[in-house]
């Protein structure tokens, strides 16, 4: 994404406490692994543009299917897309002016080539929409912005808040249209919208004298003050990045600071809340003010430890522990937020949670059409424990935000870095099928990854990939391989087939193969054993069992590799019992009744599946 800063200075990384055994081979020889306590030093990260990244395999196909959905009914017609700004017809959420149209323009523009729009109607939508802008800069019906907020509450009846929500999406779409196609009219409209926030929104909706009014309305849901006002911060930061005008950044800071008093958990709308936190990270990237990053990191910890994130890595439609429905927009935002946090901290845990989301909750939410939406969840007072059937493919929001999440995930498959003295590193983040080109300090490099099918080896399963690094002849680069949370504590094997690195170190959750020569090929093997967790992501130790004895582990989650294991068939109504054997060596033997969302068919994904179990162990 050209409008997003792609270089960030990162502080010195501490050595990870995790020290897996590592065997390194070049041909038939081995070099013992000796960890070092050194650091990477300050670096600037280098991201490939998403559209330049080749993403294959199952997940690449799922992304393409989500893009194909943008050209299918009912969103394949200009009038339908533009109904929320020109009101040519009655359709769902026409009062959210810019919600469908803005989301559509954003992802369709970003996923396009300048000479090849990703949908047939995209250029027509962009060309027509600008004519509906109001003199004050907003899109939608005429509004007296000074009157009290409409607190009717119904999402299809309220006026001011839905307009602000939709306009917050539309400004991003217009900037994306300018970014991809150089459309000057789209840029002019987006800048005029940013001025609307400067001249009207921040003064009207961040006024300390109106706190009683804001508090009365803040507790609502999709048409609530706290939901609809503050995700507009992202558009202001985009305006600053494009124009360089300080007024947009200053307005974004005022809104972010005023928002803090409403920024709590639980809150009525997870999509709105997480979107605002994405904007806070963008503010940190532009200002360097760590208070914005700290707010997001602290909220992340609160959400994960407090049960607002379910064992499959997802969040509910309402940012509550026990809300019985998910939403594709929120799932996409949570994944994107974790990627953004890694971009600014390089803490491996954020990639772990992005991966957990991608393999599990994201796939459970995506429909056979390629779109995203909502599904029921089985919940108790501790949160979700099962998926129930899907109930709405949300072409009004989720079917745009879902592919946006995929689009941004592509940029993190492998990331380059240039440090002091021109030291070059490639961060290999996910063992998936991809080809990533990288420009490292003016040199053209690339990394290609081809995963192999997971291999069952006794009580463990081996995941991995063949990786090749290409670059200028004779030049060197370090390959920093992320050690996933599900592989920590197990052997990690890196086999080098052509010229290899000089040394190996473990740092910041990475196996680092230093100074590999351009042209080097690797085979990376991650050994995974079944993992037991409680409902708050804490590892559960496997008890020692005598032959013929049993042990009960209530409310337990089982994982194998990146997959959270689920029941093949279940009605989703209760936490179900699960009998699990322990073999003579003390290893778990997974029952045939378990599977993963990744392995299901589309029809199976639509069914009910438990992911929390009352486990009874026996030997």
CA distance 157 to 469: 56
CA distance 4 to 411: 12
- Predicted pLDDT at 587: 87
- Predicted pLDDT at 488: 77
Cα 335 from chain centroid? 2
Q: Compute and round to an integer the Cα radius of gyration of the chain.
A: 25
- Predicted pLDDT at 496: 67
- Predicted pLDDT at 35: 30
CA distance 535 to 554: 10
- Predicted pLDDT at 10: 24
Q: Could you tell me which of 524, 405, 522 has the C-alpha nearest to residue 463?
A: 524
Q: What is the DSSP letter of 148?
A: P
| Secondary structure element (H or E) that encloses residue 376, with its range | strand 373-380
Tell me the average confidence (pLDDT) per consecutive run of 10 residues in the chain, 619 residues long: 29 24 30 31 88 98 98 97 96 94 98 96 98 98 91 70 96 97 97 98 97 80 90 96 97 98 94 97 96 98 98 97 97 98 94 98 97 97 96 96 98 95 94 97 97 89 93 93 85 66 70 86 89 96 86 97 95 94 89 95 94 96
Q: Which two tokens mark 192?
A: 């005029």
- Predicted pLDDT at 494: 65
- Predicted pLDDT at 12: 20
- Predicted pLDDT at 302: 98
CA distance 441 to 520: 20
CA distance 358 to 411: 14
Q: Which two tokens mark 163?
A: 């307009």
CA distance 321 to 383: 5
Residue with tokens 């699960």: 578
DSSP string computed for 356-370: HIIIIIHHHH--TTS
Contacts of 421 (CB under 8 A, 6+ apart): none
Cα 475 from chain centroid? 34
CB 339 within 8 A of CB 363: no
DSSP string computed for 339-355: HHHHHHH--HHHHHHHH
CA distance 180 to 361: 30
CB 367 within 8 A of CB 393: yes
- Predicted pLDDT at 350: 97
> Cα–Cα distances in Å, from 83 out to 139, 309, 381?
11, 35, 41
Helices (H) and strands (E) in the chain, counts: 18, 25
Q: Give this prediction's pTM.
A: 0.92
Q: Which two tokens mark 523?
A: 């085979």
Contacts of 167 (CB under 8 A, 6+ apart): 97, 98, 102, 138, 139, 140, 193, 196, 232
CB 588 within 8 A of CB 552: no
- Predicted pLDDT at 546: 83
């Amino acid at each position: 994404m050209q409008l997003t800063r792609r270089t960030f200075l990162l502080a010195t990384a501490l050595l990870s406490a995790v020290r897996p055994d590592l065997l390194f081979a070049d041909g038939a020889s081995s070099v013992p692994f000796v960890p070092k306590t050194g650091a990477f030093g300050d670096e600037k990260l280098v991201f490939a543009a998403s559209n330049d990244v080749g993403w294959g395999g199952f997940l690449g196909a799922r992304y393409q299917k989500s893009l194909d959905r943008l050209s299918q009914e009912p969103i394949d017609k200009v009038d339908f897309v533009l109904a929320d700004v020109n009101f040519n017809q009655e359709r769902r959420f026409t009062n959210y002016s810019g919600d469908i149209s803005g989301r559509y323009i954003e992802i369709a523009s970003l996923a396009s080539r300048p000479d090849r729009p990703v949908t047939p109607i995209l250029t027509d939508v962009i060309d027509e929409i600008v004519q509906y802008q109001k003199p004050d800069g907003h899109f939608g019906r005429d509004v007296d912005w000074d009157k009290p907020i409409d607190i009717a509450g119904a999402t299809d009846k309220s006026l001011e808040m839905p307009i602000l929500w939709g306009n917050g999406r539309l400004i991003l779409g217009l900037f994306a249209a300018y970014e991809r196609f150089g459309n000057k009219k789209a840029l002019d409209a987006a800048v005029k919208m940013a001025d609307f926030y400067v001249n009207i929104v921040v003064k009207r909706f961040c006024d300390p004298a109106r706190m009683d009014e804001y508090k009365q309305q803040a507790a609502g849901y999709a048409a609530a003050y706290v939901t609809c006002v503050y995700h507009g911060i992202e558009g202001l930061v985009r305006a600053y990045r494009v124009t360089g005008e300080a007024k947009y950044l200053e307005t974004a800071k005022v809104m972010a600071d005023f928002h803090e008093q409403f920024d709590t958990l639980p809150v009525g709308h997870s999509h709105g809340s997480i979107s605002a936190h994405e904007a806070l990270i963008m503010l940190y990237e532009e200002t360097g003010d760590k208070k914005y990053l700290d707010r997001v990191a602290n909220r992340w910890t609160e959400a994960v430890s407090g049960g607002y994130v379910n064992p499959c890595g997802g969040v509910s439609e309402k940012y509550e522990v026990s809300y019985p429905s998910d939403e594709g927009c929120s799932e996409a935002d949570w994944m994107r937020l974790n990627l953004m946090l890694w971009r600014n901290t390089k803490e491996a845990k954020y990639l772990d949670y992005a991966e957990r989301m991608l393999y599990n909750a994201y796939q459970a939410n995506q429909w056979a059409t390629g779109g995203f939406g909502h599904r029921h969840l089985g919940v108790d007072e501790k949160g979700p424990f099962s998926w129930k059937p899907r109930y709405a493919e949300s072409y009004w929001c989720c079917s745009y935000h879902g592919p946006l999440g995929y689009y941004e995930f592509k940029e993190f498959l492998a990331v380059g870095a240039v440090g002091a003295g021109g030291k070059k590193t490639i961060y290999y983040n996910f063992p998936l099928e991809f080809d990533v080109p990288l420009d490292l300090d003016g040199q053209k490099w690339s990394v290609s990854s081809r995963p192999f099918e997971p291999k069952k080896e006794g009580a463990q399963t081996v995941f991995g990939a063949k990786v090749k690094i290409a670059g200028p002849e004779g030049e060197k680069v370090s390959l920093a391989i992320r050690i996933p949370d599900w592989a920590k504590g197990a052997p990690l094997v890196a086999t080098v087939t052509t010229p290899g690195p000089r040394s190996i170190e473990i740092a910041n959750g990475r196996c680092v193969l230093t100074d590999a020569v351009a042209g080097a090929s690797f085979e990376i093997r991650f050994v995974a054993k079944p993992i037991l967790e409680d409902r708050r992501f804490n590892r559960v130790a496997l008890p020692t069992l005598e032959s013929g004895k049993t042990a009960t582990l209530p409310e337990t989650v089982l994982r194998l590799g990146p997959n959270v294991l689920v029941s093949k068939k279940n009605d989703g109504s209760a936490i179900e019992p699960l009998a699990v054997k322990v073999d003579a060596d003390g290893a778990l033997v997974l029952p045939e009744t378990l599977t993963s969302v990744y392995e299901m068919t589309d029809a199976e994904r639509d069914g009910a599946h438990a992911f929390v179990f009352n486990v009874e162990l026996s030997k």
